[in-house]
Each structure stands twice: as structure tokens, then as C-alpha cells.
Structure 1
């Protein structure tokens, strides 16, 4: 741009470009009014701003899983803190209102996120909308079943929580590390956090868990980890045959592992309840029948959706954590509910965890 000829050439090129955009009539006025440096400054500002916005959107899309994981972690800590300071002395209707609002927010957030992840030329299909709604709905309904008929047991519920959500993250990260795939710093931190939670759960606070509980938890955790790892491979290399067969296998393994854990934990209590508490034994029988019906419904739903390769991985990744959390609420542990308001508030933490971890597995690269 040192020579006058280059300046004139640049000026004429910019003015002609603006003329094509604004119309032919504005070229003469633009030539007279706008100095060259102002025109160049405007063009550079527009280009830099567009580039900055595109880079920002790229960073948000790339690190969306980290943003959601951080969100669920902060929300979990805050909500657990609210539970521990006994904030659960509010009225029943107030808590119902908050829970219902969180249910709606979860659905809206899922729909908006899927809408932004979908190209502008396409619209959300009915299947995608259903996949956003039914996990939250099941959690909402199951929470009331859990709330009114059983008491919250921190040890076993925390074991379910670790096995369901944290172990698949560690498995996926370990798989990437072994195969020398590109791995991010966030995934390494999550893996270390998961390992720490696992050690703390099995040898620290929850050391009261016996060997049989630990063995069944390993089976349960392994089934979930295999399901997530295989779903990740299906997402990278779609194969209809593998998808159909393994989806059904994972669901069966998941159902058997959970059913084994539930029987293993409650069989002794059920025998005593048959003697001393007929009503509770009948309630447990209703739970078992309901569990079998739901398991069959889940199996049919997953297997029928596997024929559509576009939704196979989405349904596996979005559905399995929801079903795990839902079924963990259905396992009867103790007598009738006494003071379950802390567990009712604690559901918010698990809702945030559900959305964050599901997002991690759906969209992590």
C-alpha cells in the first residue's frame, strides 16, 4: 500500500464491493463522502468482528461439554449444601412448584440445545422431541414413587450415582488414552476426579458396603461402561448390525445387573417384611411387577429405535443414564418415608448431573 496506485486499486475494489451490496447508485456518493482510511477501517472491523464471533461460537461448541459439566458440578455442590443446612423446611406446595419448574427447564434446555446443534435447514423431528421429554418425565414421576414409599439411603444411592455417571467417563477417557487419541485437559481432570470418587466411595465414607455389594456394583458399572464405549464407537463408525445386536445386549445386561443388585440388597428385608409387615411386602411385589413392565417397555423401545441408525446413539446415550437414575429411585431400602425433604431437594443435583453427563457423552470429540 505504499504506492498511490495500490491505494487507488484497493479503494476502487472496496467501493465496487460495496456497490454490489448496497446498489449501483451508492457508489458515487460513497466515493465522495467516505475517505479511504475510514472505509478500510470499517471493512477491517467488520471482518475482525465476524471472525471473533465465529471463533467464540466455535469455542462454545467445542467446549460445550465442559461448560455443562462445570454447570452440573457447581449446581450439585450448591444444592447439596442447601440440603445439608436443612433448608428443607419449606411447605410442600413450594417444593412441588420448584420441582415442576426444574422439570420444565430441563425439557426446554434440551430442546434448545438440540435445535442449535441441528442445522438451520432442518427441523426437530418428533423422535428428537420425545427423546428430550421422556427422560425428564420419568425422573419426575419416579421421584414421587420413591418419595412416598421408601426412605433415602445415602450409601447405596451414592454407589448407584458413581456407577451410573462417573465410571463411563473414566472408561471413555482411558480408552482414548490407550488408543493414543486426542485427549483434552478437561477429560483428564474428569478422569482423575472419577478415580478419586471411586476410591473414596469404596474405601472411605462408604466402607460399610460389603463385598457382595461391591461385586454387584462392579458388574453394574461394567455393563454401563461397555454400553457407553460401544455407543461411542457406533457414533464414529455406524454399523446397523452391530447397533441392533449390541443395543439389545446392553439393555439386557443393564436390566439383569440392576435387578440382581436390587434383589441382593432387599431379599433379606423382604423375608422379614413378609412376616412382620404385609403391606410393605405387597408394596415390594408391586415394585417388582412395575420394574419388569418398565424393563420390557425399555427393551422394546430401544430395540425398535435401533432400526433407525440416525437415532440409535442418541437414544442410547440420552436414555440409559435417565433410566438408571429412575430405577435407582424405585429400589425400596427402608420403611416408610419420615423426613425425605433433603432427598427431594437433592433431586436437583441429579437433574443437573444427568443433563451435563448426557451432554458429555453425546457431543464430546
Structure 2
């Protein structure tokens, strides 16, 4: 039986990558992003489903959450597994404020910003100020009483020429008399394709108010994704876990699976052979007991067993729930080879103290006046009446 259990374990282990590809998927809601390797959901998946640092969670609103150790929670808006890009949002829809508050440190997360950082100066202007109208107003930081504007710092420091609408002049840094004041200067990861020679695209700034894109390089599953194959941990290498395509594209995983199945089959056959051998041995023992010769100490010419009164005089014991036997010994009946069970009755042969199922040994003793095991008659058994 042990061999059969080992076979079952190895058989399951050989298919573990395929099982993991289905059991390690999940969503926080029906319209949320699918979470799969290298990501995994805390409280839903085990850690082997994902890669270190890629753990996500679900909040009370069934939103998918990425937690920055230094700045709190962000909503995962989309996961692009093919390009390995993660899009996150601020729960308050003002992501730019978290940059200004220095709450966007990614360390120690395994991500980096998709776009390069650019230096921007942020101004707080009166609603009537016209000097910086060519630059985008950040709506989530503005109100009816003031507006916040972002200007590439290079436009201010180096007077970079910019294209302006007709009848307007090139923007310059506001003078002290202007109704604008500098809030801060910060590095912002925003696409810069429109920065030169024109100012930044307002739609891009509105976009960064709500979301920002991150990327990851390790683990690299782009080959599997492009081939429409599941990616995951396929084996433990010297330097740690190794990833590959789980449906057979990894040669090492394929070889390991074949070896596991072959070895499992061999172990199963060995276990089956041992079980058959044990059954044959039991059958042979039963046959030998059934043809035991009458003891040579019996009187010549006397054939038969003991009478019922003599048999009934031998001690009988009913086993309790603990199946505690009268004497230490085998827990199987030597006649029928069945295990002793609770509430069964056993009979003990005097002197030799061998015991058997009562119904088994009673039948034996009506035909044979000796113990089925040692073949010795009980004390005084020679003087007991025999049944011819």
C-alpha cells in the first residue's frame, strides 16, 4: 500500500505545473483584471502561485490593490502580461498629488516607471492669470479660487522656444508681480513626445491625474505570453526558482515529468507484485492449516475432534473497543487470516495460550483435538472425549 501511495503522490506532482496554471488564477471582481503569474492574490492563492514582490490583494470594494510599502494602496487598473506593463490609479483620482507629496517611491517593489522622469515646476495661479494659460491646468489640484499649472522646468530656465497660438507671446517665468506663485519642482514620469518644441499635451496631464504605468523585467514571461502559453515556476535552480512555459515548452520540465511518470509506474508495479505475493502466502498458509495431520500422540485408530462440552470449557473473551488481546501476539486469526475486530469473540487454547476467532477454532476442534498452530493437545486433552 505504501508503494501505491507514493505512486499517487508522484503522479500528482508530475502534473502540478498544469494544475497551478488553473488554480493560481483569480479576480477581485468580474470586471477586474485577471491575476495570474507572476502576480498572486493574498488570502486567495498560496505564495508558490507568484513571484516575490508581486502580491496583490482585494479591498472591501472588490478592487485589486497594489500596496506601496512607503505610501499605501493603489488600485490596479490593468495588467498587460504580454508587454509586462502594470497600470495603477490613485483611489482619490489625484495621482499627481502623491508625486508632489513624495509618496511614489517604488522601492522595494520589483517595478520601475514605464516613462522617463522629467523636471516640472508647479505654479499656483489666480483664475484671472493669463501668463501660463498655454500650459495644462491640473483639475484635481485646482478649485474655483485658484488653478495649479505644470510647466517643464527647462522652458523656464533656458527659455526654450515653444509654439504659441496667434497673438500670444512665448511663455516666460512669472515675475513677482504676476498673480502666480511656485509651489514646488518635481520629477514626473510622463511621456515626453510632445514636450519639444511644443508644450506638454493637456490630455496626457489629465491622464496622469488618474493613472500611471509601471513595468517589470523579471521574471520574463514574454516568450510564453507571445506563444499563448502559461508561464510559471517550472523547477528550482541553483540560484533560485526558474520560470518557463508550463505546457511543455521547458525541456527540463518535460524531462522531469517523463521521469516522474516512469518511476511512478515502476513503483506501482513493484507494489502490486508485493501485494500479490503476500496474498499467495496467506492462501498457502490457510491451505496448510486445513491439511494438518492428526497429532502423533493421539491413540492409534482414533480419528476425530473434541466434543462440544470440552470445547465450551475453553476460555472465551469478547474484545472491547481497544481490541486488547488476552496475550501479546499477532492481531490476526491464524485460521481465517482476518484481523480481530471490536466486539468479536475469541477462544483461547489452554496451556499454549494460542487464541483464534471462536467460530473458527470451534469448527477446527470438532475435527482435530490439537491446537491449529502448535498441534499440541491441551493439558488433559488426551483424556477428553473424542468425536469419531
After TM superposition, the score normalised by the length of structure 1 is: 0.19
Query: If each structure's strand is expressed as a fraction of its own residues, which one has the higher value?
Result: 2
Q: Which has the higher contact order (CA 8 A, sep 6+)?
A: 1
Query: If each structure's helix is expressed as a fraction of its own residues, which one has the higher value?
Result: 1
